[in-house]
Structure 1
Amino acid sequence: MKQLVLTLIGKDRPGLVEEISSAVLSHHGNWLTSNLSHLAGQFAGIVQIEVAEEHLQELQDALRSLANLDVRIESGEACENNEEPETINLVITGNDRPGIVQELATVIRHKGANITHLNSKQRSAPNWGLPIFSAFATVSLPPGTVKENVIEALESITSDLIVDVEED
């Protein structure tokens, strides 16, 4: 089976996910994992699918022909070993400001870790006067990394940043 990673973007409309999933199913693909969002009136998605080699081209053609949707298709890589790296799920909250995501990403990279999933948003905080940044991040740790060191490094960015670990 061939692994594919799709990135999709286009004006959001009712039935769009059904249209995409129908194209995958009708061309013998299997929808494995996805992250789909509505952002500023646009549909944005990342989808991992698998398909037998003999159906690969017909599936790619069907996906690229979806109306009013930009589709990019990349080949995925199968895991070479079954060993999953240690991951931590972080809930991060603090006063929003330009560059906060870059700061978080830099600290995580300097600790040798990798952000594998990130959902973030800005929300108003009427009692505080400043918008609040909140994020959920899954971070994979290289062997030998102490997760508490990553958390402490993130919290040291600024005194108003709260980092909690969410247990699986």
Structure 2
Amino acid sequence: MSELAITVIGRDRPGIVADVAEVLARLGANLTDSTMTRLRGHFAMTLICVGPAAADVEAALAPLAADGQLLATVRAVAPDGATAPTGEPYVLAVHGADRMGIVAAMTRVLTDAGGNVTDLSTRLTGSLYVVVAEVDLPPGTFDEVAGRLARTAAELGVGVSLRPADTDLL
């Protein structure tokens, strides 16, 4: 069995998730991690599964992309293994008037502090731009990072909040 990273993108339509999931189930591929969303009328899916060889999965997904409306890619990846989180989990929220560079500036602050973005989404609604990110920060850096984020947000003319994340119960 191989660990595979699969992406599917294209114009949104009902049934994409069901179609992809059915192909994977028929192949005996176990979907382990995934994220799926609709972005301005386009569907985007990224998932990790354990299953047959990448070429077999790619061939099985090919009919879904035959009409040119979807693009599906499959890539074998090395298993991540069980690793303990290296930081403390936080949720970052940024909101304000849309302008170039908001994500770049805010994530640079996190990176420079040794933080890691583990999930990020953005949404533009009219002129309001919203960023929500899950981040891991090195222990003991919250106050420093929060201060740097506040200063960067002020320079950009946006609001920012950083709060501890509720841990997942799995």
Q: Is TM > 0.5 for Structure 1 vs Structure 2?
A: yes
2:30 aligned partner, one-letter code: N
- Give the superposition deviation at 1:157: 0.6
What TM-score do you get using the length of structure 1 for normalisation? 0.81
| Residue number in structure 1 paired with 2:64 | 66
Structure 2, unmatched stretches of 5+, are: none
Does the 8 A contact of 2:27 with 2:57 survive in 1?
A: yes
Alignment of 1:152 onto 2:152: no
Cα distance in 2 between the residues matched to 1:98 and 1:41: 22
Deviation string for 1:82-132 (max 9, x for gaps)? 3122222222223321111111122122112121210111224xxxxxx22
Deviating beyond 4 angstroms after TM superposition, the runs of 4 or more aligned structure 1 residues are: none
Q: Identify the residue that residue 7 of structure 1 maps to in structure 2.
A: 7
Q: Percent identity?
A: 25
Quickly say closer, same or farther: Cα 1:164–1:141, change in 2 above 3 A: closer
How many aligned positions are there?
Answer: 158
Residue type of the partner of 1:133?
Y
1:151 CA displacement: 2.1
TM-score (norm 2): 0.81
What amino acid is the match of 1:77?
A
Q: Is the 8 A contact 1:93 1:163 kept in 2?
A: no
Counterparts in 2 of 1:145 and 1:5: CA distance versus 1, 3 Å: farther
Structure 1 gaps of 5+ residues are 125-130
Q: Is the 8 A contact 1:29 1:49 kept in 2?
A: yes
